[in-house]
């Protein structure tokens, strides 16, 4: 089946939904560099920028049959990139804060048992956070990265109420998955030292 008007984005998307690799390649060639340049400018790391740009297009191909794009594909891809960049920046900010606690910028008990407990809890929380719904996880990571609810709302272009809802959902899901008493106690301690308030 020939791709008559290759320049027509609507037709390309229709062909993409049908699994047409030529349509996918055309869209990839049209938008890949733009996304890569924006990601590199934001992250200052071409390797990570290339990886997330590739991820966006891989996701586009995997979800091609269920795509529901109301505006232009360029806008859709730009929003997908924005969320990926914010997610990476938030994780990096969170990592730096964690490293600071280990290097003496915050009090850390050096008891071996407490350290192992802390590591176990940190690992469990990290696993639970990674399983949160995408927007929920991004809001949570930004909050843990030191951003106020107002700042998060501005960065993501959503209301502060939506930010609060995502945070409440994140804490609820984490709480539900921490089944054992010891873990629940640790979660309460974690909340006290988090930026939840």
Q: Are 3 and 15 in contact (CB under 8 A)?
A: yes
Residue 103 has pLDDT above 70, yes or no: no
Q: How far is CA 79 from CA 1, 75, 84, 192, in A?
A: 31, 6, 9, 33
Q: Read off the pLDDT of each residue in 167-195 and give the average, rounded to a whole number.
A: 59
* Mean pLDDT along residues 79-103: 76
Q: Which of 23-27, 80-84, 143-147 has the lowest mean pLDDT?
A: 143-147
The listed range with the strongest mean pLDDT (4-13, 15-24, 163-172) is: 15-24
Q: Encode pLDDT of 117-141 as tens digits.
A: 555 666 677 777 778 888 888 888 8
Q: Would the pTM of this model clear 0.85, i.e. be above it?
A: no
Q: Which domains does the chain have, with CATH numbers?
A: 9-84 (1.10.1740), 109-193 (1.10.10.10)
For the chain, give the percent of residues with pLDDT over 70.
73
């Amino acid at each position: 089946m020939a791709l008559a008007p290759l320049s027509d984005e609507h037709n390309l998307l229709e062909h993409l939904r049908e699994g047409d690799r030529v349509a996918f390649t055309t869209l990839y060639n049209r938008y890949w560099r733009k996304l890569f340049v924006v990601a590199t400018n934001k992250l200052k790391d071409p390797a990570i920028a290339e990886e997330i740009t590739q991820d966006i297009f891989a996701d586009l191909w995997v979800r091609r049959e269920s795509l529901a794009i109301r505006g232009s594909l360029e806008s859709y891809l730009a929003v997908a990139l924005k969320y990926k960049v914010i997610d990476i920046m938030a994780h990096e900010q969170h990592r730096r804060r964690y490293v600071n606690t280990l290097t003496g910028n915050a009090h850390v008990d050096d008891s071996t048992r407490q350290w192992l407990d802390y590591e176990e809890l940190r690992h469990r929380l990290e696993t639970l956070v990674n399983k949160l719904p995408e927007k929920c996880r991004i809001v949570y990571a930004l909050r843990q990265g030191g951003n106020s609810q107002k700042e998060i709302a501005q960065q993501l272009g959503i209301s502060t109420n939506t930010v609060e809802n995502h945070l409440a959902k994140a804490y609820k899901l984490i709480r539900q998955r921490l089944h054992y008493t010891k873990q629940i106690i640790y979660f309460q301690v974690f909340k006290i030292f988090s930026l939840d308030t």
